[in-house]
Amino acid sequence: MSKSLGNSPDPLDLIEKYGADGLRFGIVSIAPQGQDIRFQEDRIESGKNFCNKLWNACRFRQMSGEAGDNSTLEAIISRLDPARFDADDHAILDRLFSATREVGRCFYAYEFSAAAQTLYGFFWSDFCDWYVEVSKSKLLDPVTKPNCLAIQDLVLRQTLLLLHPFIPFITEELWHLLGYAGPELAEPGAGGRFIEDVRLENASQIAATSLLHGLTLDRAAVAEVEKLKEFVAQARALKAEHNLASRRDVTFFVIAGDAEWKVVAANLTSLKRMAAAAEIGRRTEVDGAPAVVTPLGTLYLDLASTVDLGAEKMRLAKELEQITKHIAGTEARLSNPAFASKAPPAVLEGARKQLAEQQAKRVELARLLQALG
């Protein structure tokens, strides 16, 4: 863009079209530190879409139930009931803490684009696409509803605080609509009449306050939810590859060990809803069906009669070739004396674990390819 060439967009026109907050968020998200950028109006539109997503998520919270005491962080955390937490509750708070730490690091390093992208990914994917969806059944149960609403209030409060430097107008409005401002006559700093008057707690401070109220995160539950997310992502991708992304009447089969199937069976209802599937069943053997390897077993799409076997063979062969290259790279890195002698033990252990997972996936892909003939 060059002002002298007359090809610079008028900011007032962009504000009229996308809103001031949408423009701010869009510009920041495409402006890495110290680099020139090519202006892309579609990225400004993504800023507008994000603001709409934020507004709609907060409206959903309002419509889901009465607001409790949201005047302070401690007031919200005191409403949490650790006994009512399930794996998804632990996972969303873990992701909230991770996002808060990463945004704090980005602010400290002046990496504002990375901070905006972190918040975008957390709020859109982890909160809206996953937690809000799996929460819908809990909101129908009077026993689990209060705790679920308190978790949503905690996540939304911290998200608004983190987003405020980027999109100040919508966050200020939502801060009041959701009751975070506290009493109307509150003095600045005493509950925070305005969002800018409130101190932004870091992840350690939130965790410490939670611990005082008896809440500690279950790391096993967090890891389990990550596997479930990957399972759903692979199921959606498998449907999309066969032009069935919008179909909700498909059936999946799973070949899995007892431990993996136990996780799938315990979350079967939410998995079917999230993957838009009519049925997910366990099998000991499946022939002639397209498949993918997931952390919870091999997932098959039961559409053998409509699948192009030639195309499926090509897809599996390409994936097998890619995983073989990854294995070669990982083996080379581990066999390099310079890397093995200097890398921290945790990094070495992570690389060895990654290699084992890649090798297991290669074996399974080879088996699938052979099964198709």
The residues spanned by each domain of the chain are 64-217, 222-307, 309-373
Within 8 A by CB and 6+ apart from 212, the residues are none
* 105-143 tens-digit pLDDT: 999 999 999 999 999 999 999 999 999 999 998 999 999
Q: Are 252 and 279 in contact (CB under 8 A)?
A: yes
Rounded Cα distance between 178 and 172, Å, is 10
Mean pLDDT across the chain = 87
Tokens of 367: 């088996």
Instruction: Tell me the CATH number for domain 222-307.
Output: 3.30.2320
Q: Which residue has the higher pLDDT, 93 or 345?
A: 93
pLDDT (0 to 100) of residue 145? 94
* Share above pLDDT 90 across residues of the chain, in percent, rounded to a whole number: 49
**Helical packing angle, 258-266 and 219-241, nearest 10°:** 80
Residue 159: pLDDT band with limits 50, 70, 90: very high
* 263 pLDDT higher than 60: yes
Q: What's the token pair of residue 130?
A: 């996953």
The stretch 250-279 carries a mean pLDDT of 91
What is the structure's pLDDT at 147?
A: 94
How large is the average pLDDT for residues 321-342? 88
Give dist(CA 192, CA 201) in Å, integer: 13
- List, for residues 182-198, the tens digit of each pLDDT value: 765 444 444 457 888 88
Q: CATH number for the 309-373 domain, one of 3.20.20.210, 3.10.450.50, 3.90.1310.10, 1.10.287.380?
A: 1.10.287.380
pLDDT at 264 over 50: yes
Which of 40-54, 136-150, 192-206, 248-262 bottoms out in mean pLDDT, i.e. has the lowest?
A: 192-206
More confident residue, 225 or 36: 225
Question: How many whole angstroms separate alpha carbon 326 and alpha carbon 54?
Answer: 38
Mean predicted confidence (pLDDT) in 212-218:
87
Token pair of 157, please?
């409060």
The pLDDT of 160-173, averaged and rounded, is: 95
Residue located via tokens 């870091």: 202
First to last CA, the chain: 55
Say if CB 235 and CB 227 are below 8 A apart: no
CB atoms within 10 A of CB 53: 16
DSSP code per residue over 280-320: EEE-S---S--EEEETTEEEEES-TTTS-HHHHHHHHHHHH
H or E segment and range at residue 293: strand 291-294
The stretch 334-339 carries a mean pLDDT of: 86
CATH level 3 topology of 64-217: Isoleucyl-tRNA Synthetase; Domain 1 (1.10.730)
Which residue did the predictor score with more confidence, 276 or 127? Answer: 127
Say what percent of the chain tops pLDDT 70. Answer: 91
| 64-217 and 222-307 have identical folds | no
Residue 226 has pLDDT above 50, yes or no: yes
Confidence of residue 3 (pLDDT cuts 50, 70, 90): low
Work out the average pLDDT over 290-304.
86
**pTM value?**
0.77
Partners of residue 286 on adjacent β-strands: none
Q: What is the pLDDT of residue 191?
A: 47
